[in-house]
Every structure is written in C-alpha cells, then in structure tokens.
C-alpha cells in the first residue's frame, strides 16, 4: 500500500510540470500572431513534443525528492537537456504566437520631470 501511494504521488508530482501542449491552451486565439505561419509551425512542434510524462515525470520527482542521492542515476537521463529543450520550445511558442510584449518610448526631461512619449 505504501509503495502504491509513493508511486502515485511521484507520478502526480511529475505531472505538475508545464508542457508545450498545456501552454497551447493558454494562448490568445484572437492575437494576430496566432494564425501566422511561424506560430502554426511552433504549435505543430509543440503538439508532437514528447514529454514522456510517466517515466520521465516520475524520475524527475524521485530526483526532486532524493536530491543529491539520486543525482548519479538521474543524470543518465540527460534530463537537463530535456528540460532545456522543453523550455526552449515553450519560449519559442510564446515568441511566435504572442504579440504586444514590448513597448518603447523616447524620454526627455522637462521641468525636472521625465516625459516619455
């Protein structure tokens, strides 16, 4: 029973991480960039992205729980590379599918105050 509880807990913990697929549901479909070819390509890549939720998620959770003890075995999975790739895919989706995330203005001083227009 204890083993079952532990295994289920680890799967749940592992499943809490954001994935490219879950990120797609947060995108604004009304955003002009959503239907751009760049965004469509990024969304297709996200749909095909393999998260390996059961094995990798559980092993990530075990590593998180055991800390340094699990480092040796866990490194064999090259998980850092996996997480980095996942983050890169998600950052790319955000960059290609979301507009209006930068706003620049020119500033000048007027009567001791900065005015930006």
Partner 1 sequence: MRLVSTIALIALAATALPTHAKMPLGFDSRFLFNGMKYEVDVDRDKDTLLVANVKIKEGAKEDVGQIRSVAEHFVEPSGCGISAIHLDDTTFVKMKIKIWYADYVCPEGTNLRTLIVDQRDALRKGEPLHK
Among residue numbers 26 through 85, which ones bind partner 1 (CB under 8 A)?
26, 28, 61-62, 64-66
115 binds partner 1 (CB under 8 A): yes
CB 58, CB 10: distance < 8 Å: yes
Task: Report the distance separating Cα 18 and Cα 57, nearest Å.
Answer: 11
Query: What CA dihedral angle connects 25, 31, 32 and 34, to 10 degrees?
Result: -10
Q: Which stretch in 36-44, 46-54, 73-81, 100-108 sits in contact with partner 1 by CB under 8 A? A: 100-108
The reply on whether position 95 binds partner 1 by CB under 8 A is: yes
| Residue 113 found at the interface with partner 1 (CB under 8 A) | yes
Least distance to partner 1 from the beta carbon of 68, Å?
Answer: 13
**How many residues sit in the footprint of partner 1 (CB under 8 A)?**
37
Q: Does 4 bind partner 1 (CB under 8 A)?
A: no
Nearest one of 31, 6, 19, 33 to 90, comparing CA atoms: 19
Q: How far apart are CA 96 and CA 7, in angstroms?
A: 38
Q: Are 54 and 11 spatial neighbours (Cβ–Cβ below 8 Å)?
A: yes
Q: Which two tokens stand for residue 94?
A: 């955000």
Summarize as ranges the residues that interact with partner 1 (CB under 8 A).
2, 5-6, 9-10, 12-13, 16, 18, 23, 25-26, 28, 61-62, 64-66, 87, 90-91, 94-95, 100-107, 109, 112-116
């Amino acid at each position: 029973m204890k083993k079952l509880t532990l295994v289920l807990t680890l799967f749940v913990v592992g499943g809490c991480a954001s994935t490219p697929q879950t990120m797609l549901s947060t995108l604004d479909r009304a955003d002009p960039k959503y239907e751009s070819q760049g965004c469509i390509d990024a969304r297709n890549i996200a749909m095909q992205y393999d998260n390996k939720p059961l094995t990798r998620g559980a092993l990530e959770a075990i590593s998180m729980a055991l800390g340094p003890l699990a480092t040796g075995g866990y490194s064999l999975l090259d998980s850092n590379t996996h997480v980095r790739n996942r983050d890169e895919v998600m950052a790319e989706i955000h960059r290609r599918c979301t507009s209006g995330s930068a706003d620049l203005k020119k500033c000048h001083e007027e009567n001791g105050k900065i005015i930006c227009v």
